[in-house]
């Protein structure tokens, strides 16, 4: 049985002064660039709606500037949307007060960043345990959990090493272990592998897929790489200029691209990947 975990409805984020001007009738049919030149406002998200099931890996894909990071920042309320709702576990997180927001960030959601965001002067285990440390968990307990998470991401025995002794791929595994250590219900990953070289990147995708089979977290994974999107995603939302222009399973997107923009992406997908997907779908 599928169970909805995150429901985003009619979400808008408009950067600039008096953002509500974009809701006036005269702007409803104008493009993002027209709005930008006429009102000096940036429509980073434009009426975005989608839902993510429990345990699903939901990918948001789009070119630079399409609004992907703005969307994940809204999901953690690092930025407040201009309009719309984000319902997680039947509560609209937009309406949370400071206390509810703090609890939400502590217990429900964890984020993995593109630049890993590790503390360079601390060893691996203290980095992996960082989220637990700021929650006030005692050293022994937090190290025990962190070690378990390091094992899970294939870093057994590296706990005492310094961060700068690790390769990029290993550092990002520490970032993933740190996020998992707080046992979040939802993992947000904003281009977690894009700082890595292509070979490592492909390996990390595979590892993430294997890990996900074990942990079944609800994941929102951001990427600008369609090959990556189809290999990790259960479903993919393709964004352009702040709007979702297609949403579907990898096969749906490859077989029936919604428009030329999408087919330009899908043409670049390797035939090996398509064979793999077809095998998976039986
Ligand atoms: N704080 C801000 N103030 C003004 N404009 C912003 C702000 N943050 C983002 N934008 C604009 O919103 C749009 C979407 O940006 P966003 O960072 O969400 O894109 P992205 O899809 O994550 O791109 P990338 O792939 O480069 O990370 C861009 O035009 C950007 O310039
Ligand atoms: Mg971004």
- pLDDT tens track for 2-60: 899 999 999 999 999 999 999 999 999 999 999 999 999 999 999 999 999 999 999 99
> Which ligand 1 atom sits closest to the C-alpha of 224?
25
Question: Is the model more confident about 9 or about 261?
Answer: 9
| Alpha helices (H) in 11-153, listed in sequence order | 32-39, 68-75, 98-107, 124-128, 130-133, 139-152
Residue 29 neighbours by CB under 8 Å, 6+ apart: none
**Pocket mutation for ligand 1, best pick of 12, 67, 224 (most atoms within 8 Å of C-beta):** 67
Rounded distance from Cα 100 to ligand 1 centre (Å): 27
| pTM exceeding the 0.95 threshold for the entire prediction | no
Structure confidence by residue, pLDDT tens digits, 224-258: 998 899 999 999 999 999 999 999 999 999 999 99
* CA nearest ligand 1 atom 16, residue: 67
> Which ligand 1 atom sits closest to the C-alpha of 71?
18
- For 98, the token pair is 């400071």
Sign (positive or negative) of CA dihedral 195, 166, 128, 124? negative
- Which residues have any ligand 1 atom within 6 Å of their CB? 15, 42, 44, 62, 64-70, 224
Cα(73)–Cα(38) distance, integer angstroms:
26
Rounded distance from Cα 120 to ligand 1 centre (Å): 27
Task: Give the per-residue pLDDT at 5.
Answer: 97
**In the beta sheet, which residues pair with residue 225?**
none
**pLDDT tier at 86 (50, 70, 90 boundaries)?**
very high
Rounded distance from Cα 118 to ligand 1 centre (Å): 23
Contact 6, 87 (CB under 8 A): yes
Exposure on the CB side of residue 254, measured as CA atoms within 13 A: 21
* CA nearest ligand 1 atom 12, residue: 44
Determine the topology of domain 57-82+99-108+184-281 in CATH. Rossmann fold (3.40.50)
Structure confidence by residue, pLDDT tens digits, 68-83: 999 999 999 999 999 9
Contact 122, 147 (CB under 8 A): no
Cα(124)–Cα(154) distance, integer angstroms:
13
Q: Can you tell me whether residue 244 is helix, strand or coil? A: strand
Rounded distance from Cα 198 to ligand 2 centre (Å): 19
């Amino acid at each position: 049985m599928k169970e909805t975990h995150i429901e985003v409805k009619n979400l808008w984020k408009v950067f600039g002064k008096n953002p509500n001007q974009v809701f006036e009738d005269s702007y409803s049919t104008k493009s993002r660039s027209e709005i930008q030149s006429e009102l000096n406002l940036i429509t980073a998200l434009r009426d975005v709606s989608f839902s993510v099931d429990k345990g699903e890996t939901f990918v948001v894909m789009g070119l630079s500037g399409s609004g992907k990071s703005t969307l994940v920042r809204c999901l953690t309320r690092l930025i407040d949307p201009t309009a719309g709702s984000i319902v997680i576990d039947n509560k609209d997180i937009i309406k949370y007060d400071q206390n509810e927001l703090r609890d939400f960030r502590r217990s429900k959601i964890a984020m993995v960043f593109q630049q890993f965001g590790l503390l360079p002067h601390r060893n691996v285990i203290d980095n992996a345990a960082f989220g637990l440390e700021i929650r006030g968990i005692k050293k022994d307990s937090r190290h025990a959990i962190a070690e378990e998470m390091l094992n899970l991401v294939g870093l057994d025995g590296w706990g005492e090493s310094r961060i700068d002794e690790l390769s990029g791929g290993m550092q990002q595994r520490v970032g993933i272990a740190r996020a998992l250590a707080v046992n979040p219900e939802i993992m947000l990953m904003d281009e977690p592998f894009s700082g890595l070289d292509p070979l490592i990147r492909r390996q990390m995708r595979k590892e993430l897929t294997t890990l996900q089979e074990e942990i079944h977290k609800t994941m929102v994974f951001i990427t600008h790489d369609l090959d990556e999107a189809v290999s990790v995603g259960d479903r993919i939302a393709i964004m352009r200029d702040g709007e979702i222009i297609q949403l579907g399973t990898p096969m749906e997107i490859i077989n029936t691209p919604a428009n030329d923009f999408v087919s330009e992406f899908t043409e670049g997908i390797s035939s090996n990947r398509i064979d793999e997907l077809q095998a998976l779908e039986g």
